[in-house]
Structure 1
């Protein structure tokens, strides 16, 4: 945004709205030396010229503002002070709207799925920050304990996919306790149908500013189990959160023996649906036509 305003000073009188779905100040990198200072710097400068700044969660907002002082310590030259105090008054939380609707699955289909065993879904981007190693450790523990279940590992794949995905796919396909249903990318129709009939959706993320896939899965009928960190405590109630992977294993072990019990657990996430957020977006983005026209022709 800052670069745009610098190139187009005629746009300066217009109202400038900035939305953060993530922030580069704490975006995960494998090593701190790999962090590109310019990305975060651009976001901070954009905040300085913006009139209104919206974040998808309070976690995203506070992590961004609180990280500004330490972020500037990464550069040896000019280190401005009190930027967070200047930016904070312009910031508000505006949840990202979820459009997905629960598909109609008959009780007969759900009962059949219950009899087939617990269906666990992990639907995340296939990168290290989503914690696949932790998830597979949990699955390995369930297999070692003799639990029987069905498994779908979904998500977008990139050029550098962690090797553990191929290793675990071969291992689980050879297991008598774990039945692999889906592994990798599926089209939207299959995605909705799968999550509408599955029992549990799991996150083991080390990085999450919001969690679209977890919210979508919960709206479609899966019961979410998420780590007690990041954006999750803001979104999901306490009964959906675990503090350690051992706690997650214990909960999944119980549900493997009682798949239908997950159907009695539900989470109300209406506040993240578009119809609940529409008026907030209209208010946040409302610009009077005459004001906009005057700004552009000034």
Structure 2
């Protein structure tokens, strides 16, 4: 008997002043799942100006309606200004979602910190009814920094602000809405697999077609035969198949892991915004040293780009040209996922990260994550995937370039399921007070 879930959400007003990246993903996802909601957005350009002026523009764009009951917006919006400009919205349940907070935003020079950005977010929290953070780190860093920020004011400093805001706060991890891995798994397309084999290997494959192996096992064995110079038992008479001195259990063989089947140089991916707070210099400097050492590797550099990109990207594109697989923002998500599925390791060098959607997407598609031991990363990733210094990052990448098979055999121990939409949906239904009507 099929269960039909009706997720009517008439009266939910979804607002996003910076409609790009993870901000766009979340709004689009909520809009798709909560039928009847209303979506009002602005393009993802000049976030500084969106933070300063979006309230005025949105106050003119949001249609008047007596049906609204919930207002959901990201913390880019100055919610206090919007409610003042549109008093009809003040009675709604106002939910503010923090993808990041400006109170601990890393600036290149201290004098560049604009007091208005964190101040606006503090005011927005005082007006909001519910404040949602995408990680515990995000929430804790915000609440613990409020008094520090307010001390900048020369006099008349407000008191007790964190105590007023804290009871309204909660953590809801960003919900990942991802397609089946099988759609991008090279091992799930046996016809393409056979076409890629040489005549000798194809002959071996045909021999296996008459054996008792499952089709998935045949794919695994055949590709291991391609990469490992050893004898392979293709009869599958026992639950363990010997490859040289190693054994592959049925658990490893079925279902196959595309990463274990790959050959060639290590494929490194960097998929973050092209801005200084993601510290691209540290990443590219590591690759330059790998190149100078003569190590073989491939690299894909993705992520959103804006009007002004750090100069290191143009330098790196020229110096690393012979190693590049993909360069630049991938307009189609399918292309982005396909590159992640082909890659071996995903690297972050972020100085500013409160969740890290792209790193979790990379893990979902089989990449080994390498993250700095700071910010949100220790909250999500076990210690084995964290590094403390650029020297440690370089050392680990050198090892991976030298023995890429180790990375491809590794099963990443990150509980990715907890971040998927299907495991967080109930929390968002509760947030919006939407009841699921079920028919059996």
Gaps (5+ residues) in structure 1?
A: 289-298
Alignment of 1:147-186 (within 5 A): 147-173=295-321, 179-186=323-330
Provide closer, same or farther for how the CA distance between residues 111 and 38 of structure 1 changes in structure 2, counting only shifts above 3 A. Answer: closer
Partner of 1:130: 278
User: Higher relative contact order by CA 8 Å / sep ≥ 6: 1 or 2?
Assistant: 1
Alpha-carbon contact 2:259-2:342 (below 8 Å) kept: no
Partner of 1:105: 185
Partner of 2:235: none
Between the aligned partners of 1:214 and 1:106, the Cα distance in structure 2 is 21
**1:232 Cα deviation from its structure 2 partner:** 0.7
State the Cα deviation string for residues 68-118 of structure 1 (Å, max 9, x = none): 111112222421112111211111111111112323413358479732211
Alignment of 1:1-298 (within 5 A): 1-101=79-179, 102=181, 103-107=183-187, 110=258, 114-173=262-321, 179-187=323-331, 188-263=333-408, 264-266=410-412, 267-286=414-433
Between the aligned partners of 1:104 and 1:168, the Cα distance in structure 2 is 28
State the Cα deviation string for residues 174-233 of structure 1 (Å, max 9, x = none): 6xxxx2111212232221111011100000111111101111111111111100001111
Alpha-carbon contact 2:259-2:366 (below 8 Å) kept: no
Helix, strand or coil: the match of 1:25? helix
Helix, strand or coil: the match of 2:178? coil
Helix, strand or coil: the match of 1:147? coil
**1:265 Cα deviation from its structure 2 partner:** 2.7
Helix, strand or coil: the match of 1:17? strand
Helix, strand or coil: the match of 1:150? strand
Provide closer, same or farther for how the CA distance between residues 104 and 183 of structure 1 changes in structure 2, counting only shifts above 3 A. Answer: closer
Alpha-carbon contact 2:135-2:173 (below 8 Å) kept: yes
Alpha-carbon contact 1:113-1:197 (below 8 Å) kept: no
Helix, strand or coil: the match of 2:263? helix
Q: CA RMSD in A?
A: 2.0
Helix, strand or coil: the match of 2:320? helix
Tell me which structure has the larger Cα radius of gyration: 2
Helix, strand or coil: the match of 2:132? strand
Normalising by structure 1, what TM-score? 0.89
Alpha-carbon contact 1:117-1:148 (below 8 Å) kept: yes
Alpha-carbon contact 1:114-1:259 (below 8 Å) kept: no
Between the aligned partners of 1:70 and 1:111, the Cα distance in structure 2 is 47
**1:14 Cα deviation from its structure 2 partner:** 3.0
**1:48 Cα deviation from its structure 2 partner:** 1.2
Worse-matched range after superposition: 265-274 or 110-119? 110-119
**1:3 Cα deviation from its structure 2 partner:** 2.0
**1:35 Cα deviation from its structure 2 partner:** 2.3
**1:10 Cα deviation from its structure 2 partner:** 4.5
Between the aligned partners of 2:118 and 2:387, the Cα distance in structure 1 is 31
Helix, strand or coil: the match of 2:102? coil
Between the aligned partners of 1:212 and 1:271, the Cα distance in structure 2 is 13
Gaps (5+ residues) in structure 2?
A: 1-78, 188-192, 194-222, 224-257, 436-440
> How many pairs are equivalent?
284
Normalising by structure 2, what TM-score? 0.61
Partner of 1:292: none
**1:287 Cα deviation from its structure 2 partner:** 6.0
Partner of 2:219: none
